Chains A and B, each alone.
Chain A
Amino acid sequence: MATLIEAETPDVLGPAAPKRGGGGVGRYILVRFLLIFPTIFILVTLVFFLMRITGDPITAALGGRLPQDQLDARIHEAGYDRPILVQYFEYLGQIATGNFGTTLSDRRPVVEMLATFGTATLELAINSLVVALLIGIPLGMIAAHRRDRTPDALLRFFAILCYATPVFFAGLLLKLTFSVALGWLPVSGRASTNTELAMSQLAAPSGIYWLDALRSGNYQALGDIAAHSVLPAVALGLLTAGVFLRLVRTNLIGTLGKDYVEAGRSRGVSEFRLVTKHAYKPALIPIITVMGLQIALMLGGAVLTETTFEWKGLGFQLAQYLTARDFVAVQGIVMLLAVIVAVTNFVVDIVAAIIDPRVRY
């Protein structure tokens, strides 16, 4: 949710560092690329030590039924009582060789676990991004154009309301309305039982259900998947739509006031063309930037959406694994999230730098 500020105070966060002379795009990309690694390293290290402070998975699982000496024996067996630095370097060694281990609380290879839940979260993120764009951008354009008038007021209020409503509360209301009261849409899950079974029997599933359904030509399943996708996508999408709406509005107002737009206006270019053609394109740069940053917001909001809608994805799973003190699983998920976030930021920065060379430093 940090993005709200990012979106609203571009001037404040702009001059992050003094501009350095020289250095081509290539050099900038390289430096920026190399910065990915410390980011990941820091997060992984932080999580490693934080998790060790909080206890061990064996006590979490069996503390309620075994005496302490038996627990200690099991903890010793698993090696959790060794010096923490020894465990840390062992862990670094393992991830350096690509060995991410097996989760402790439900015994799955981490890579496979990440693939399963990661694709679920990805599907949710894509769905809600679509909703957010479909709602946020057109409405933002309307708001910018009708600035300070009734539609603008209502739309901005709507945007803030979207932001102010916690995903789980919005989700609950949506669920009660559309599935309990009206019975139009399913309550929860990614698909109904039959579809889930059909999906699990595919030869090489991508894990993104609608893609798999499309590829296998199973249109009945596709309908089912779509029905299940609507509410979670709307719940999470609305939150982001509010951010997009405000962002589009702010940036359009900025560019609409620019000289060349004024010039266009004075030459008699229609307001519609001004909004959609002249002002829109330059306003797109910050939108693309923030869209990238939205990924982090989406992953965070996804925890709550996934919980509300029984959508078995990464965020929700992370909360579960944390409760179980499953070090291995938590480290795996955090690592993946760190990679996603770092890479997205990298791409966003590069795109921004290519579009607007002044960004480079």
Chain B
Amino acid sequence: MAINKKALRCAIALAGVSAFALTACTGPSGGTPSNGASGTASTIAYGTTDKVTALDPAGSYDNGSFMVMNQIFPFLLNSKPGGADPVPDIAESASFTKPTEYTVKLKADLKWANGHTLDSKDVKFSFDRQVKIKDPNGPSSLLTNIDSISTPDAQTVVFTLKQANDQTFAQILSSPAGPIVDDEVFPADKLLSDEDIVKAKAFHGQYTIESYNKNTLVSLKPYADYKGVLDKAANGGATIKYYTDQSNMKLDIQQGNLDVANRSLSATDIEDLKKDSKVKVHVGPGGEMRYIVFNYNVMPFGAKTADADPAKAHAVRQAVAHLVDRQAIADQVYKGTYLPLWSNVPSGFVGANESFKELYGEDGKPSEDKAKQVLSDAGVSTPVTIKLQYNPDHYGKSSGDEYAMVKDQLEKSGLFKVDLQSTEWVTYNKASKADTYPVHQLGWFPDFSDSDNYLTPFFPKGGFMNNHYSNAEVDQLIAKQLTESDKATREKDIQDVQKLLAEDISTLPLLQGAQVAVAGASVKGVESTLDASFKFRLGSVSK
């Protein structure tokens, strides 16, 4: 019958499609990242879900961009794998020569990958440029302490600071504001596009960029004339592959298309990967922090509410602190990729302690009795209604689960009724700073690895959160530690601040993130770069 002939033709057409699929399968499925057979050391394939805003240091202030900058640009000071202490990178020495003068001596004969000379002129140019461009997306606000920069000779740079003995200055020089750029390539008053940077080969890092497909694929080649503090790259090159969906990245690392997957995999993915013998999950200290902010004006019994009463407001904060079960959230929602955080300064940083653990709950467990006690002592009638806000799209998909648990923990006691709501990020941000949210979620990723980065931005004058917290003693101690050159004294100051902060509870620290990188079982060197500097150095990785 005719129709059968027709059907046959259809079948052939369909078979054609599948034949197409079959021949396709015979191709290099997924492709192997290593073409190491030819070279001495093989290429490393690195995957991430972070994004690059701009390679130009003056135009970006985010993890994704900074990760690439760390591979290709020099710093005056940088840290070596394994630690976060800044040591001279392209500098020979760097120190305070006067309280307000920070002098850096550069190594001799430094060359950019394009052959241009790298000297003090480039350094001065880089910082002046940041401040001058003041790009809305740039990190120039980290450089506010620089008064002026002079270059007595080609090898010497002198920074004159506004505030003497700034203990964070060395860290700032290794922060997102710190990469040095080529003054013969970059314009002084505007940003340079990524493509132009790549074309001009304005690099001096462990790597240079060979090919650049923004936020898709970047291919790096070791730079032979690199003279910084890091070792020569341990591999024959690296590719950075950008993902938008965590589970795709997870499948690629499982199938061997990636050697390292970092920032970020979901907790469920990581737990599953731990069971996979083909990959290894590496965990390092993390500086990421999740916390709850109390707005002193509009929280229950806050200064601008009808029944304002500072003592009652304080009792409410204390009761919340007694009730939250950090361990439960870390275990259930984050499966150990976040750990309980017991102070405003995360563990691993200078002077960090566990001030909240000492003051609230029972040995790290929540305590309903203590919460009840503190509320009844202050004469607060229960249940207290709390409007709790979180943001679902900026701090990872798990925020919803995290705050559902917080709500549950507070309500279980019968002391609170929680009205939990979420708002999209931009609106959330504006509203949270405009006294709209009585109690709300925030997170933090440090600009540089120093305790001060968890204090100065947050607490003097209500900090960037604008939560109207104010305690003269805290302000004074924070200012003091910032310029205290004696290490032991500074540590003591920082500990004291944390104690005061735990008593007041301007913010309630909840969780501290760990750095998690998943690597193929035979990949070496990942462990060493997952340190407190939060810089992933591709050059440390080999296989």
Contact = CB atoms under 8 A, between A and B. Distances in A.
Question: Do any CB atoms of chain A lie under 8 A from CB atoms of chain B in the complex?
Answer: yes
A324 to B, nearest CB: 9
Given A223-B23, A224-B27, A226-B24, A59 B430 contact: yes
Interface string B233-266: 0000001010111001001100101000000000
Contacts of B215: 106, 312
Interface stretch (A7-15, A89-97, A134-142): A134-142
Contacts, number: 209
Interface string A185-219: 11111011111110011000000000000000000
A59 B429 contact: yes
A224 B14 contact: no
B21 interface: yes
A104 B13 CA distance: 46
Identify the interface centre among B30, B241, B427, B444: most chain A CB within 10 Å of its CB.
B30
Given A108-B214, A193-B33, A185 B245 contact: no
Given A106-B215, A271-B3, A185 B13 contact: no
Given A60-B425, A186-B29, A194-B35, A227 B6 contact: no
Given A104-B137, A196-B217, A185 B25 contact: yes
Contacts of A62: 61, 136-137
B382 interface: no
Task: Classify chain B's interface size.
Answer: 35 or more
B213 interface: yes
Contacts of A67: 433, 463-464, 466
Contact of A223 (B27, B56, B59): B27
A145 B7 CA distance: 11
A28 B5 CA distance: 43
Contact of A272 (B3, B16, B25, B52): B3
In the complex, which range does the number of interface residues on chain A fall in?
Answer: 35 or more
B28 A223 contact: yes
Interface of A: 54-68, 70, 74-75, 77-78, 102, 104-109, 131, 134-135, 138-139, 141-142, 145-146, 175, 179-180, 183-189, 191-197, 200-201, 220, 222-224, 226-227, 229-230, 270-273, 275-276, 307-310, 312, 316, 320, 323, 325
29 contacts: A55-B430, A58-B137, A60-B426, A61-B53, A62-B137, A64-B429, A70-B141, A107-B54, A108-B193, A109-B193, A134-B14, A145-B3, A184-B25, A184-B29, A185-B24, A186-B257, A188-B245, A188-B251, A189-B248, A193-B31, A194-B33, A197-B239, A223-B24, A224-B27, A227-B21, A227-B25, A307-B245, A310-B243, A323-B393
Given A64-B429, A197-B217, 18 more contacts: A61-B53, A65-B457, A66-B141, A70-B141, A106-B215, A108-B214, A134-B14, A188-B243, A189-B248, A192-B30, A194-B31, A194-B32, A197-B239, A223-B27, A224-B27, A224-B29, A226-B21, A312-B244
Interface of B: 1-3, 5-7, 9-10, 13-14, 16-17, 20-21, 23-33, 35, 45, 51-54, 56, 59, 61-62, 134, 136-137, 141, 191, 193-194, 211-217, 219, 239, 241, 243-245, 248, 251-252, 255, 257, 393-394, 425-427, 429-430, 433-434, 442-444, 447, 457, 463-464, 466
